[in-house]
Structure 1
Amino acid sequence: MLGVTSVPAAAQVEGPPDFRPDQWGQSAIGAAELWEQTQGHGTTVAIPGPSVMEDHPDLRDNVTVNTDHGENTEEMDLGTELGGLVVGHGHGMDADGGVLGVAPEAGLLALPTEDEMGAAIRTASQDSQVILLPSTDADLVEETRAAVADGVVVVGPAGGDDPNVISVAGTDQDGQLVSGSPGAAQIELTAPGDQLYTAGPDLGETQVSGAPYAAALAAGGIALLRAEYPQLSPEQVREVVVQGAQEGPGGLPALDLPTAHEQAAQVTGGDGIIDEDLALEAGEEPAVPVWAWFAVVGAVLVFGILAVALWVRRSSRDPYGVEAERREEDERLAADRAAEEQPARRQKGGRRRKPRKS
């Protein structure tokens, strides 16, 4: 069940409105406590299905829209609201006003589509670390299973029966499940999902309620964990957010990011990226061994010295052309000497006759 309450746009009040003090959902899950370590930089959360207002001031520059599976239509409310809870960064990238998402430095990949959800999920699994499903009504088990096999965490609102999706139900400020929540058997995790401020229509902000928005907060929190510990598998991420949860309504797990972060540190030994393959997945280049740097530098120096020596040798062999002139002079003298030593040819009829005897 979704609920939306309109809030005046930023242009209708004096100065940019700042809703951060009223964003109880981010505070309840402890998002700000992880921001000293990471704000989600290097991770991408994909939302297949709804369109997103990519020029919204709270989302601008954090959103990429892929229209391979459908057009980014004018029906952008749901996608923009979900995106604001995940990657909202406030107005003008300085958070002086507007709303903040759980992972304000993460990227958002919107894949709007009406009838190609399976294909959109397959595309999302190639370019993101987290997929946020706005609904779990459709049968997408095959696609979500493939996404998890590709190392992507899939999150969605509770109510479906897809075992590959971390199913999240919403709670209110009293810690109770919001109206319309499914039974406990269909809930794996709970998160704030009532009267949440987020990016809204007309470039403004709005209040929303419902399980999809609780799933959005969980997806943003998982983006923070994946940014800090990208080597965690989807199964390990699922484990740390559930085992690191606080006790929620009816004993259900309630998302708590600081405790989940501690669980992730225990699973990984407190290390971040641990090998070159994981470094590449996180968008970082693998470290080059020190000996390789010395070998390269040494080779460059040797070739440089040889090149300089060869140039000096060639340029200093006869810098003023003296040897060349001397060779020409020697050749000329030799030619003159050879000409002088050659006997003169006698002219025709010039042979002297012997005198006759008398």
Structure 2
Amino acid sequence: MLTAVRVVTAALLAFSAPAADPVREQQKWVLDALNIEQAWAVTKGENVTVAVVDSAVDGKIKELKGRVTAGPDMTSGSVTRELPPGRHGTAMAALIAGSGADDGLVGTAPAARILSLPMVIDDEPMLIPPLESEASAESPLARALRYAANHGAQVVSMSIGSYGPLRSEREAVSYALGKGVVLVAAVGNDGLTQYAQDKGTSYWSFPAGYPGVIGVAATDKQGRRATFSSDNLSVLVSAPGVQVPVAKRKKGYELSEGTSSAAALVAGVAALIKSRYPSLPPEQVAQALASSARGRPAAGYDDKTGFGVVDAAAALNAAERLTGAQRSITPGMDHFGQGEDSPVPTRPGPDPMRLWLYGGGLLLALVTFCGAIVVLNQRKEP
């Protein structure tokens, strides 16, 4: 028996009417907040594929035309069906890899490609196996993660969420990380729930809550945490998630609010890092994003915005330093800190000089002992 579980597209888009200004003008504050244009001088995400685990992506919009690969329906391991393009998945994919064609919306990694892995239909619940049978079943998200890792994705963007961890998903997360895939997820929009107000923290949302996944919170135009953004220790970094322009299916634009948009933007920044440093492992991509973030909380970290708002250019510089650190680890070549090298350690095993001294001392003692015995014997003779 299957149980209906609502998979929250961890920011179901709350759209307002589009403004009259061109979309590039509307999204300028988003790009500035992430320091994207400076990063584009280094890379725009070439040779990177970002898997979008969401509703199906419309690859016919001008911003994504010719750069979307449609993967199979992830909701079933045996039955294949063609899902219609979704509002949410299309919007997230354009935030990641929108080309800006014809003055259209530009994503944070405009030269990247998209692998669409549909596992939800916009605003509809999805049927997944209940927890008691999960040991023998693989969830749609688990299938999507393994498919992405096995089909060339370097980054996976997950603007989705549910409230319960599953074993198959934990194992799939570990599998993808082991393949070098960077995993990015929205932390959820539960900041204004009664539970969050009473407890001072939000329910954890998964996949953002799995170890190794980069959890992204939402901030406003002032860089402050968006009131709806979930706050808990799954938050690693944050990004704009209020009044973010997104592409609509077929054509046109609208505004979105939610951690979904924030996660997609950060997935694009992760794609920039993987484009420039393809061998950098996922944990160091996360380190580069966190260590270089702007607007760091006074304590260095908090569960509302994590280590701060992602800075794409600074993250690339941090990734370069991490790559350099990897290359410099050569025995005998470097030492920690400034100053003279420590003395070369002595070779293991017996010390020849000490052996000679010990042997000589033993021989002298033996000769002295024998001599004393001879003298005593001579004295005893009449």
- What is the TM-score when the length of structure 1 is the normalising length? 0.68
Classify 1:34/1:4 alpha carbon distance in 2 versus 1 (closer, same or farther; 3 Å): same
- 1:62 matched to which residue of 2? 67
Contact (CA 8 Å) 2:96, 2:267: kept in 1 or not? Answer: yes
Residues 252-291 of structure 1: pairs in structure 2 closer than 5 A: 252-253=306-307, 254-269=309-324
Unaligned runs of 5+ in 1: 273-358
Match in the other structure for 2:24: 20
Q: Would you say 1:41 and 2:46 are equivalent positions?
A: yes
- Quote how far apart the aligned CAs of 1:72 are: 4.4
Change (3 A) 1:35 1:270: farther
Per-residue CA deviation, residues 218-265 of structure 1 (Å, 9 max, x unaligned), is 000010011001121111111111111112467532211111111111
5 Å-filtered alignment, 1:169-248, equals: 169-248=217-296
In structure 2, the residue matched to 1:276 is: none
In the alignment, the residues of structure 1 paired with residue 275 and residue 295 of structure 2 have an alpha-carbon distance, to the nearest angstrom, of 26
Q: Percent identity?
A: 32
Contact 2:156 2:181 in 1 (8 A): yes
**2:56 corresponds to 1:32:** no
Which position in structure 2 is the counterpart of 1:89?
A: 99
The Cα shift of 1:8 comes to 5.8
1:33 maps to a residue whose letter is: Q
1:141 to 160, 170, 177: 170
Q: 1:270: Cα distance to partner?
A: 9.3
- What is the identity, as a one-letter code, of the residue corresponding to 2:161? T
Residue of structure 2 in register with 1:120 after alignment: 144
Q: Output the amino acid matched with 1:80.
A: T
1-structure distance, mates of 2:102, 2:117:
29
In 2, Cα distance between the equivalents of 1:155 and 1:89?
21
* Contact preservation (8 Å) 2:223, 2:295: no
Give the AA of the match of 1:235: E
Distance verdict in 2 for CA 1:150–1:205, change over 3 Å: same
2:84 match: 74
Q: Which amino acid is 2:311 matched to?
A: D
Deviation at 1:192, TM superposition (A): 0.8
Higher helix fraction: Structure 1 or Structure 2? 1
Displacement after TM superposition at 1:42 (Å): 0.1
SS at match of 2:226: coil
Q: Secondary structure at the match of 1:60?
A: coil
**Aligned pairs, number:** 262
Q: Which amino acid aligns with 1:269?
A: G
Change (3 A) 1:222 1:205: same
**Matching residue's letter, 1:81:** A
Q: What letter corresponds to residue 117 of structure 1 in structure 2?
A: L
Distance 2:226 2:90 in 1: 21
- Opposite residue 38 of structure 1, the aligned amino acid is T
Give the residue type in structure 1 aligned to 2:266. Answer: A
Q: Which secondary structure does the structure 2 equivalent of 1:4 belong to?
A: coil
Q: Does 1:168 align with 2:168?
A: no
Deviation, 1:146, is 0.8
SS of residue in 2 equivalent to 1:170: strand
- Counterpart for residue 77 of structure 2: none
Which residue matches 1:322?
none
Pair 1:191–1:108, CA change in 2 (3 A): same
1:4–1:206 CA contact under 8 A, matched in 2: no
Mapped to 2, the partners of 1:84 and 1:249 lie a distance apart of: 30
- Long gaps (5+) in structure 2: 1-10, 75-79, 121-127, 129-139, 188-203, 328-382
Return 208-217 or 60-69, whichever deviates more: 60-69
* 2:10 is the counterpart of 1:5: no
Alignment root-mean-square deviation, CA: 2.3
SS state at 2:14 partner: strand
Paired residue for 1:153? 182
* Larger displacement relative to structure 2 (158-167 or 42-51): 158-167
* Closer/same/farther in 2, CA of residues 229 and 64 from structure 1, 3 Å limit: same
Contact 1:136–1:162 (Cα < 8 Å) also in 2: no
Query: Structure 1 CA distance, aligned partners of 2:24 and 2:174?
Result: 36
The correspondence for 2:55, drawn from 50, 59, 65, is 50
Deviation for aligned residue 1:48: 2.0
Q: Which has the larger radius of gyration?
A: 1
Tell me the TM-score normalized by structure 2: 0.64
